[in-house]
Amino acid sequence: MGLWHDETEGLVILPDGRRVRGRGLRNGPPATDELPDFGLYLIGKPYADARWISRWVRWPDFRLPHDRSDAIDAILEAHDRAATHRVELACDGGIGRTGTAIALLARLSGVPAVDAVAWTRSHYRAGAVETPWQRRFVATVQLPRGA
C-alpha cells in the first residue's frame, strides 16, 4: 500500500494530487517491481490479476462501455482508492479507453469537462481519448461530483 513514485512509467498526477498509472496491457507489465494495489481494466473480456484487487469494465476497443453506470461507478472507485493506494488503469493499448477514464478522473479532480481531453493529452499521452464518441462521452457524461 502506498502511492506511485515520481518515476513510475505512465504516471498521471491529477489536479487534486491523486496519482494513477495508465498503461497498455499488450505491452506487458512495467519493468519496475512497483505493483498496483487496485487495477481498473477497460477491455472487452474479463481480466483480473490475482496479485492485487481489480475490477473489469466491459469496454470494447474504440467504443464506449457497455454499461455506462458501471463504468462511472468503477472510475469513482478508482478515484477514491487513488487517495491512498496505487491505482492502475489499463486497456489493450493504453490510449483510447484508458485515456477516456483518465479524462473522467481529471473531471472528478476539478478539470472542467470542456478541458478534460486536452488536459489528459497534455498530462498522459498526446493521442489519448481516440474517438469522437469517447471525446463526447468525456464532455457530456454526468458525474455525481467534480467538474
Q: State the CATH number of the domain containing residue 67.
A: 3.90.190.10
Domain membership flag for residue 132:
yes
CA-wise closest residue to 41 among 92, 115, 103: 92
| CA atoms of 123 and 146, how far apart (whole Å) | 18
What are the pLDDT digits (tens) for 26-58? 988 777 778 999 999 999 999 877 789 999 999
Domain membership flag for residue 110:
yes
Domain count, the chain: 1
27-33 long-range contacts, CB within 8 A, separation 24+: 27/94, 32/7, 32/8
Domain membership flag for residue 45:
no
Domain housing 82 = 11-30+51-140
pLDDT of amino acid 117: 98
pLDDT (mean) for 126-144: 96
Domain membership flag for residue 3:
no
Domain membership flag for residue 37:
no
State how far Cα 26 lies from the chain centre. Answer: 16
Domain membership flag for residue 108:
yes
pLDDT of amino acid 1: 63
- Statement: residue 21 has pLDDT above 90: yes
pLDDT of amino acid 135: 98
Q: Is the pTM of this model over 0.85?
A: yes
pLDDT of amino acid 2: 80
- 33 touches 42 (CB < 8 A): no
Antiparallel, parallel or unpaired: β 87-91 and 19-24: parallel
What are the pLDDT digits (tens) for 76-116? 999 999 999 999 999 999 999 999 999 999 999 999 999 99
pLDDT of amino acid 147: 62
Residue that has been written with the C-alpha cell 467504443 in this structure: 63
61-65, 69-73, 85-89, 116-120: segment of lowest average pLDDT: 61-65
Domain membership flag for residue 85:
yes
CA-wise closest residue to 30 among 94, 79, 84, 78: 94
Domain membership flag for residue 41:
no
Residues in Cβ contact with 73 at an 8 Å cutoff, skipping those fewer than 6 apart: none
